[in-house]
Amino acid sequence: MNSSQTLKKIYSSQDPINLKNFQAQVLVVQKGASSQTLVKLLEKAHATKILNFLKQRKFKFKSSAHLTFDLSSSTKFSILVIPQKLTPFSSLELSREVLSSLKTEKSTSVLIHLAPMDSSLETLLTDSFVSAAIALNYLPPKYATPSKKEKSKIDPQLTISFKLSHSRFARVQKLGFAAEASAHKTNLVRHLAQRAGNDLTPEVYVKTASDLAKKAGLKTEFFSLAELIKLKAGAFLAVAQGAPENTSGILKLSYYPKQGKRKIALVGKGITFDTGGNNLKTGSHMFGMNNDMAGSAVVLALCLLAAEEQWPIQITGYMAITENILSAKAYRPNDVITSLKGKTIEVIDTDAEGRMVLADTLTLASREKPDLVIDFATLTGSVIRALGTQYCGGYSNRKQLLSVIRKAGILSGERVWAFPNDSDYGRCLKSDIADIKQCRLTGGVDHIEAAYFLSQFIEKGVDWIHIDLGAMDPEEPLAHIPKKPSGFGVRFGKELIHLTK
């Protein structure tokens, strides 16, 4: 995975800068700024040239605008006039648009001049430009046989540097490093979600995640199928029994800082490929199901981020890793399964496998009595029909957490819409032969009903949040992400964890 250094340097106004090292410059000012800002921030020769250009265009700083032009034959210049108020989402989107217009087929180095502005805006823009630049540098896995020319070719990279007043240097530097860490973890999710299903098999995925975790200093524990049989985790085992290899299981990652008292458990759906099982998907719906493990990749990324940034919180991650494959051994509709919690489940649709593996994994996680359990899963198509691919769905067994979910989405720029989880949504899941139906046969609001189903497998007294990742494969650019998959969940998850104190 590409993880080169995108944030090159942060310059204070006192540092000498060789402008020949930059193929592009961006001046960011607030709406209503004076044109004299140019004179203060830029070299005199550049400032005079730009002021003359703006005078010819009758350009003023009275309204929000983005203008890009050639400063010389080798240097582009962008002026970005931002409004007095900017949301995290719009800031990320704006940063992607600006940097996209400057990125070329060759490596491009950009110098961003941050004019004096409100500290809240400065925070947003620093985070947004770093995050957008790293997202634009993302390279998907390559499986094509390279030609001799391609072997010697270096993929073009975008690097950014900031220049600002000396008094703001330390603050912006800290913000930049934090944004860089989160953005690389988002790219990790994107990369894992694009690995081919015959490449990232359950066995390979467990090893890949374990190696990354150990390198970061995390403790790992793997619940193999043999151990899950002993635990009587029947819901997970029902899905896993169809897989051709006995390499499935639940990978547990633990980060226990000395000063951390709060306990957060993260749970992620890790279906490395989903055919739908006996309820076989059609071709158009099956294509892309190698990314059905994205929720578990978010859990991995957040655990790695917690260790890297030394969060004062105990984080435990549970990655439910298997395949949902059509085979002679695959579970069937009308099967009755006994879950880890002891509840019996009437199977209705084998393509609703995500809630099966999550049911047992949520029970396993909540038995540790954490302060909060958060699960991430590409769970239902119903949430996409409800929201499109611009938002994810959020659910909880505590109504007071719904506003926190919404706030975390706004602050992170990864937007989440909170749905109800009232008990009457569970009426359709009453079974004549088991404790609960897996889902209904047709109709309904499956995204809400799936959340209700999952809530029945949380141990009593444990707070729980479920995120249905409908925005993992956005149809168009989403915030700072130019192409799917979005890696949605890392920014949101970090914000949510720190909000739920």
Question: Among all residues, which ones are annotated catalytic?
Answer: 281, 355
CA neighbours closer than 13 Å in the CB half-sphere of residue 451: 29
Helices marked H in 367-445 — which ranges? 382-387, 400-412
CB 491 within 8 A of CB 414: yes
Peptide bond into 485 cis (omega under 30): yes
417 residue type, one letter: W
Find residue 38's DSSP bridge partners. Answer: none
Question: How far is CA 497 from each of CA 61, 70, 358, 438, 491, rounded to the nearest angstrom?
Answer: 39, 44, 20, 29, 10
Q: DSSP states of 246-294 as a string?
A: S--EEEEEEE--TT---EEEEEEEEEEEE--TTSPPPHHHHTTGGGTTH
Q: Which two tokens stand for residue 118?
A: 């409100």
- Distance of alpha carbon 175 from alpha carbon 152, whole angstroms: 36
CA-nearest of 283, 188, 270 to 469 is 270
DSSP class per residue in 13-59 = TTS---GGG-SEEEEEEETT--THHHHHHS-HHHHHHHHHHHHHHT-
Q: What burial class does residue 226 get, using C-beta atoms within 10 Å of its C-beta: 0-12 exposed, 13-18 middle, 19+ buried?
A: exposed
* CA separation for the pair 474, 390 (Å, rounded): 7
Count, in order, helices (H) and strands (E) of the chain.
16, 17
* 376 SS3 class: strand
CA 55 to chain centre: 43
Residue pair 346/336 in contact (Cβ under 8 Å)? The answer is: yes
- Quick check: helix, strand or coil at residue 321? strand
Three-point CA angle 364, 370, 371, nearest 5°? 145
